[in-house]
């Protein structure tokens, strides 16, 4: 991206409620979970759409972060869809352990063209901001 001087990306700011480093991120598999997440909150970014939902008290896996990925046929052919999912998986892997919250479900939805081609560092930044916005929104709402 930049010249050779661009050493590393900005050092990650220790998020306020920094969770345990060994936190696991589970994969969302059930259709019902996807539907519930879609009905909860959402936030659109240029590269993807983030849906998020805090699980109820009696749901299992209390301390876990769960995440699912959606890339429908609208995103493109198999190549575009898989590429979009791979990149979404990667930003989730890099950002969610530090910036996600335990007990939440997240779903990342791919968009046509953009998800597969947008600058990677920018998408990471957008995910951090979207997570922050949704969490703040919930605190104020409740």
> Using CB under 7 A, which of 12, 13, 44, 86 touches RNA?
86
Among 11, 16, 21, 31, binds RNA (CB under 7 A): 31
Is 10 a binding residue for RNA by CB under 7 A? The answer is no
Q: Rule CB under 7 A: is residue 120 a binding residue for RNA?
A: yes
Q: What number of other Cβ atoms are within 10 A of residue 131's Cβ?
A: 22
Q: Is 30 in the site for RNA (CB under 7 A)?
A: yes
Q: Give the residue among 41, 67, 47, 18 at the shortest CA–CA distance from 125.
A: 47
- Give least dist CB 139 to RNA, A: 28
Question: Is residue 39 a contact point for RNA (CB under 7 A)?
Answer: no
Per CB under 7 A, the list member of 36, 51, 66, 70 interacting with RNA is 70
Given candidates 85, 99, 111, 135, which one binds RNA under the rule CB under 7 A?
Answer: 85
Select 29 or 139, whichever has its Cβ closest to RNA. 29
74 touching RNA, by CB under 7 A? no
């Amino acid at each position: 991206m930049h010249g050779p001087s661009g050493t590393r990306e900005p050092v990650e700011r220790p998020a306020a409620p920094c969770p345990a480093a060994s936190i696991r991120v589970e994969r969302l598999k059930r259709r019902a979970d996807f539907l519930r997440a879609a009905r909860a909150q959402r936030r659109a970014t240029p590269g993807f759409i983030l849906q998020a939902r805090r699980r109820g008290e009696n749901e299992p896996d209390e301390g876990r972060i769960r995440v699912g990925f959606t890339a429908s046929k609208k995103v493109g052919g198999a190549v575009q869809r898989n590429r979009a999912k791979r990149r979404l998986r990667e930003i989730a892997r890099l950002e969610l352990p530090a910036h996600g919250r335990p007990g939440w479900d997240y779903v990342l939805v791919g968009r046509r063209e953009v998800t597969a081609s947008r600058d990677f560092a920018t998408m990471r930044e957008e995910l951090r901001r979207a997570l922050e916005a949704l969490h703040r929104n919930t605190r104020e709402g409740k």
